[in-house]
Amino acid sequence: MPILTKRPNKTPLGIYVHVPFCRSKCQYCDFYSLATKDDKLIDGYLDAVCDHIKEAGELAPGYQVNSVYFGGGTPSFFGGDGLAEILNTIRRNFDVSSDAEITFEANPDSVSDRLLHRLRAEGFNRVSLRIQSDDDEMLKKLGRPHTYAQAVTAYQRIRKAGFRNVSVDLMYGLPGQDLQDWLETLDNVLRLLPEHISCYALKVEEGTPFYELRQMLNLPSDDDQAEMYLSAVEALKSRGYRQYEISNFCRKGLVSKHNMKYWTGGEYLGFGPSASSDFAGKRYTLKRDLQSYIAAIRDGGDIMEEIQEIPMRERAGEYLMLRLRTNVGISAQEYEKTFLLPFAPLEEVMEKHRRYYHATQTDTGRWVLTPKGYLVSNDIITDLLLAQDGSQPLRRI
Amino acid sequence: MTELQKIRNFSIIAHIDHGKSTLADRLLEECNAIDQRIRAEQMLDSMELERERGITIKATAVQLSYTADDGETYALNLIDTPGHVDFNYEVSRSLAACEGAILVVDASQGVEAQTLANTYLAIDAGLEVLPVINKIDLPSARPAEVKAEVEDIIGLPAEDAPEISAKNGINIHAVLETIVREVPPPAGDREAPLQALIFDSQYDSYRGVIVYTRIKAGTVRPGMDIKMMATGAVYKVVEVGAMSPNGLIPREALGAGEVGYITASIKTVADTQVGDTITGAENPAAQPLPGYRPVQPMVFSGIYPADGAKYQDLREALEKLKLNDASMSYELESSIALGFGFRCGFLGLLHMEIIQERLEREYNLDLITTAPNVVYRVTKTNGETLMVYTPLDYPDPMEIQLAEEPFAKVSLIAPQEYVGNMMELCQQRRGEFKDMVYLDANRVELHYEMPLNEIIYDFFDALKSRTRGYGSLDYELIGYRPSRLVKLDILLNGEVVDALSFILFADNAYPRARKICEKLKENIPRAQFEIPIQAAIGGKIIARETIKALRKDVLAKCYGGDITRKKKLLEKQKEGKKRMRTFGTVSVPSEAFMAVLKLDED
């Protein structure tokens, strides 16, 4: 084996940077972001995030970063220079592997050739483009600041700039949408041939403008949404997309490495207001307010909104809740070895759900959910958690 | 012992909210009986629940020492009575311990049904009833009219009735003077064989049962052997004394005319039934005092722990409650659906709710309560007659020759504009109209005879809502009458859930069955499969709903920032499942049982 490619024996780490700026707020969005491009705020944010990264870098010498994800907010709206500066700060303070997946989220209205070329040159290799719908009326209803034509143009620019791993986001279960509308959207967007596609059911969250309007939105029923979901899974499968998570599909094995960390118990560090981390056994969330985040970084104050040390027993629950979202699924051997808890009570639950065609076992004996199972996964997971509650730890062998 | 001339025994009669407890409080204050600093809002209503609901559940008594305008000091025994229709018998026994009663009438509301009923109880018991007009400081007070009402409706002279405000302490002195002047002193031979009326008792873990009593004849002293004439139990008296506002004060003896307590290392209140007579074991009275009736629960319901493993906890809690409440009964019951629990008997629905709430609050139990029912009488084709306390015991229709249900005499009072509404309600509840009396120009009293079953569920609430709160209710059991009864079974996924079965009047079966199925559909969560809900009588399906299979219950997004929140969501959902009971393959949350109980709310 050539010496140069030999990897140091380090723990893999993901880095998430929350960029809390948008052109405007969408009607359904409950992420933390500000509809502003105020220079002072942007500079303050940039300094704070970079300082924060510098501090954190010293704490993670045993780690190698294999994914960096800029989410938001709208990183593309924030601009190429700022993103590049943050990425470079990360590179200088962490050991970022040469084949790391480096993603930024983009909205169609803020994707310029200049931005794309700059970021491609800086080593960004994946773009997540938020298209959401192919219907301009719908985009307007959702409060999206772009048209579908803009989205197609943006996609083509991204391709031209040399990005070979592009993901697009779509939403279904939208106001007034029916199954036909949704399948057409999917059909149109799939012509773009993205490597990766995320399809999210609209969830009307408390605190969003949609929440106030929810009675008047004419949202599809749960049954209709279920139909939309299953049809999408079928359509994507027939076009060669593999479903690797409840809402995520990819070609050529191009899963989102970064997101897989969330579902498989990987470690990650978050920077920027409202970002979450799961690092060294603790899960924590940073302050969900830009000003307080900036002030806390500057003055060395408390930047945490919430911090939790997760006991092993709870990790065992998370294992079920998160892994079953993916096509990795759960295995008896892995579970018993990691958590020293018996799998038998869980096996019983999985067998029950197999009878409803909600779960199935792979050739290697791992349990995974079927698309129908994904649709009712809360019910399955809570059954498992209930079975887990009653189980006694295995004796250490 | 206090000489008879210096004793006054009285109680206070009032409609709920008319200020009975507040007046009692003021009387105590006026006699400097309570240390101001330790005074709770309403001294006599000491139970937390009583305070919350503003009603008296248990009778209590207290002795006041009052120096009147004539310079003499009197022992005033105030016996507080329960204030709800469920507790009518207890009221009658408390009244039997008194020579007088203060009738508190709200100066704006006037005379109400409950007041009337208790007033008649007092008059029938031979008490001197003294009206007092309360809340005269309210802008809507109309004391003169209300006084006229008292004279017209009840026939009591009310011209000189004190006009008071218990809340603001106005004219309380006049009430005390009226008591001294108008309530006759008790009579009774203190040398005669002992006859002591039990009007209440309470369990104390140190002394055993504390019996509250009114001595009608003879004298009781520590060391004396006593006998409960109805139950036959014999005990040796440990202590006798008076109830002061600040606790029990031992005395050398209690003689005829006095109100006080007796302790005798009694282990259970079941031996000291309200209304029973205590006499001497050696020199017994020839006869007990009149009016004793063994307590008889009227409403029965199954109480089960929501978590089957908590059965022992429930048993212990019921045992403890029973120590203090002879009117409640419980018996082991086992349901296929709910496992082990208890069939509990109550005086009425309020009593049932109180017990249920105490079990949940004081003993921290999560309960499933099945639909309450009255006691049916069934004569089988083989001639055997049985009392049916639970739908589980209801015989097969083929074996029934005659089914009977208990009826009650019902009296309703409301302003006349609501007569139509009340009549409609009574008709819906199978009421048989008896007569209608104008109490005054505006108010009407209606008399009906009605199945008890129609009253116990939500009749009072329905009455209140149809009379904008002005209606009042009183009822009294009058016996059994033949009826067309059926047992309605509920099937989930094809299997009978016995705990949901109940007995009802045949004509009500269809609408009720439909409603129950609808309610269950709303309250049972969708499962991985379709669940038929059916209602059946003797195997014949009369209503059906279907809970569609669960199609969508998923968190579409779950990234780093979502995990904590979504974990909490799932945790909550899991806890919800924990509280469900599984019948065959169907999980039913305990709320579903509650929903079935409250069918007529919408």
Q: How much is the ipTM here?
A: 0.92
What value does the mean pLDDT of chain A take? Answer: 94
Of B529, B566, B571, the CB nearest to A356: B529
Contacts 24+ apart (CB under 8 A), A297-304: A297/A47, A297/A48, A297/A51, A297/A52, A298/A48, A298/A51, A303/A52
Of A16, A200, A374, the CB nearest to B557: A200
Spell out which residues of chain A touch residue B556, defining contact as CB-CB under 8 Å.
200-201, 203, 246-247
pLDDT band at B601 (very low <50, low <70, confident <90, very high): very low
Spell out which residues of chain B touch residue A262, defining contact as CB-CB under 8 Å.
558-560, 563
Of A270, A275, A376, the CB nearest to B554: A376
Do the Cβ atoms of A200 and B570 come within 8 Å?
no
Do the Cβ atoms of B561 and A270 come within 8 Å?
yes
Please state which of the ranges A13-27, B5-19, B561-575 shows the lowest mean pLDDT.
Answer: B5-19
Spell out which residues of chain A touch residue B555, defining contact as CB-CB under 8 Å.
246, 377-378
Position B28, amino acid:
L
Nearest CA in chain B to A14: B560
What value does the mean pLDDT of chain B take? Answer: 87
pLDDT tens, position by position, B343-401:
999 988 778 888 888 898 888 898 888 888 999 999 999 999 999 999 989 998 899 99
Do the Cβ atoms of B574 and A386 come within 8 Å?
yes
Do the Cβ atoms of B552 and A274 come within 8 Å?
no
CA dist list (Å): B463 to B270, B353, B441, B471, B569? 35, 19, 21, 6, 41
pLDDT of residue A7 exceeding 80, the answer is no
CA distance A322 to chain B (A): 8
Position B347, amino acid:
L
- Interval B122-131 mean pLDDT: 88
Do the Cβ atoms of B552 and A383 come within 8 Å?
no
DSSP B513-525: HHHHHHHHHHHSP
Q: Give the residue, B75 or B54, on which the prediction is more confident.
A: B75
Percent of chain A at pLDDT above 90? 92
Residues 6 or more apart in contact with residue B182 via CB below 8 angstroms: B100, B128, B130
pLDDT band at B262 (very low <50, low <70, confident <90, very high): very high
Q: Give the residue, B595 or B24, on which the prediction is more confident.
A: B24
Position A382, amino acid:
T
CA distance B554 to chain A (A): 5
Please state which of the ranges A43-57, A184-198, B3-17, B228-242 shows the lowest mean pLDDT.
Answer: B3-17
Q: Which helix (H) or strand (E) holds A337?
A: helix A332-339
Q: Which CATH class is domain A316-389?
A: mainly alpha
Structure tokens at A341: 């808890």
Nearest CA in chain A to B559: A262
Contacts 24+ apart (CB under 8 A), B351-355: B351/B86, B351/B87, B351/B299, B351/B327, B352/B299, B352/B301, B354/B49, B354/B57, B355/B321, B355/B325, B355/B328
CA dist list (Å): B183 to B57, B238, B308? 25, 32, 55
- Interval B544-563 mean pLDDT: 90
Spell out which residues of chain B touch residue A321, defining contact as CB-CB under 8 Å.
566-567, 570
Q: Which of B96, B117, B101, B20 is nearest to B472 (CA)?
A: B117
* Four-point Cα dihedral A121, A125, A130, A133, nearest 10: 110
Q: Give the residue, B46 or B101, on which the prediction is more confident.
A: B101
pTM greater than 0.90: no
Residues 6 or more apart in contact with residue B25 via CB below 8 angstroms: B39, B42, B43, B44, B166
Contact present, B398 and B477 (Cβ < 8 Å) = no
pLDDT of residue B45 exceeding 50, the answer is no
CATH of domain A11-263: 3.20.20.70
For chain A, the domains span 11-263, 316-389
Given this model, what pLDDT does residue A168 score?
98
Given this model, what pLDDT does residue B33 score?
57
* Sign of the dihedral through C-alpha A76, A77, A78, A79: positive
Do the Cβ atoms of A379 and B548 come within 8 Å?
no
* Measured distance CA(B230)–CA(B107) in Å, rounded: 43
Structure tokens at B501: 């079965």
Please state which of the ranges A81-95, A119-133, B294-308 shows the lowest mean pLDDT.
Answer: B294-308
pLDDT of residue B260 exceeding 50, the answer is yes
Given this model, what pLDDT does residue A59 score?
85
pLDDT of residue B255 exceeding 70, the answer is yes
Do the Cβ atoms of B556 and A353 come within 8 Å?
no
pLDDT of residue A133 exceeding 70, the answer is yes
Spell out which residues of chain B touch residue A356, defining contact as CB-CB under 8 Å.
528-529
Based on the number of CB atoms within 10 Å of its own CB, is B580 exposed (0-12), middle (13-18) or buried (19 or more)? middle
Residue with tokens 């609408």: B511
* Measured distance CA(B230)–CA(B279) in Å, rounded: 10
Of B551, B564, B573, the CB nearest to A222: B551
pLDDT tens, position by position, B442-463:
778 999 999 998 988 778 878 8
Of B528, B529, B560, the CB nearest to A276: B560
Tell me the residues of B at the A interface, defined by beta carbons under 8 Å apart. 528-529, 548, 550-561, 563-564, 566-567, 569-571, 573-574, 577-578
Do the Cβ atoms of A376 and B529 come within 8 Å?
no
- Number of A–B residue contacts, CB under 8 Å: 97
Q: Which of A25, A397, A20 is nearest to A208 (CA)?
A: A25
Do the Cβ atoms of B551 and A201 come within 8 Å?
no
- Interval A46-60 mean pLDDT: 94
Of A223, A276, A322, the CB nearest to B551: A223
pLDDT band at A298 (very low <50, low <70, confident <90, very high): very high
Of A229, A283, A385, the CB nearest to B564: A283
pLDDT tens, position by position, B527-541:
888 999 999 998 899
**DSSP bridge pairs for B402:** B379
Given this model, what pLDDT does residue B204 score?
85
3-state helix, strand, coil in chain A (%, to 5): 45, 20, 35
pLDDT band at B92 (very low <50, low <70, confident <90, very high): confident
Nearest CA in chain A to B576: A382
Percent of chain A at pLDDT above 70? 97
Given this model, what pLDDT does residue B596 score?
76
- Interval A224-234 mean pLDDT: 96
CA distance B553 to chain A (A): 4
* Measured distance CA(B492)–CA(B496) in Å, rounded: 6
Q: Which of B60, B91, B4, B93 is nearest to B277 (CA)?
A: B93
Of B553, B561, B569, the CB nearest to A376: B553
- Interval B28-49 mean pLDDT: 55
